[in-house]
Amino acid sequence: MMDDRDPTLQALFASPQEDLAGEVFTMRVMSQTDNLKSRAIIRRIFIGLALGLLAIPLQELAVPLTQVMVVSLFDLDNLLLAQVLAPLNTVGSALSIVLLRMRVVYKRIFS
């Protein structure tokens, strides 16, 4: 359903607008996209190099980190309950929830 609009204003807005020459504008946009592309390639190369250089230290860090992530937050006596809640009852899941909440808050504030 269309909302009521003032016919006079509608007529004014409907009046033909400037037919803007697009060649220069398009070229400017495309040269900027080329810059973006080059920057993305350079960024990928740097990331690749960094990952290559840091592969061994990262691997060494990952092992103890994964061990910490699976540590239970609470000791549950009930075996069934412990099994059901196992995916949530870990340091890793708690961290994930915190990170997801932070992402939601960030999106609400900045988007």
Partner 1 sequence: MARVPTSFSKAREALIVALARTGDRDAFAELVQRRQVWIRNLMRRCCGDITLADDLAQQVFLQAWKDIRRLRNPRKFGPWLKKLAVNVWLQHLRKNDALHNAVEHDDSVSSVQNTPAVAMDLDRALDALSNPERLCIVLSYHEGMTHGEIAELTHFPLGTVKSHVRRGSEHLQQLLSAYAGNQSTEESQ
Which residues lie near partner 1 (CB under 8 A)? Answer: 1-3, 5-6, 8-13, 15, 17-20, 22-23, 25-34, 36, 111
Exposure string (b/e) for 78-95, b if CB count within 10 Å is 16 or more? eeeeeeebeeebbebbee
Of 28 and 101, which has the nearer Cβ to partner 1?
28
Nearer to partner 1, 29 or 105 (CB): 29
Contact 69, 95 (CB under 8 A): yes
At closest approach, how far in Å is the CB of 27 from partner 1?
Answer: 4
Token reading at 9: 């204003």
Smaller CB distance to partner 1: residue 59 or 111?
111
Residue spans of alpha helices (H) in 70-78: none
Question: What is the C-alpha separation between 40 and 25, in angstroms, rounded?
Answer: 23
Cα–Cα distance, 88 to 97 (Å, whole number): 9
Least Å from the CB of residue 110 to partner 1: 9
Our CB check for partner 1 shows the closer of 2 and 80 to be: 2
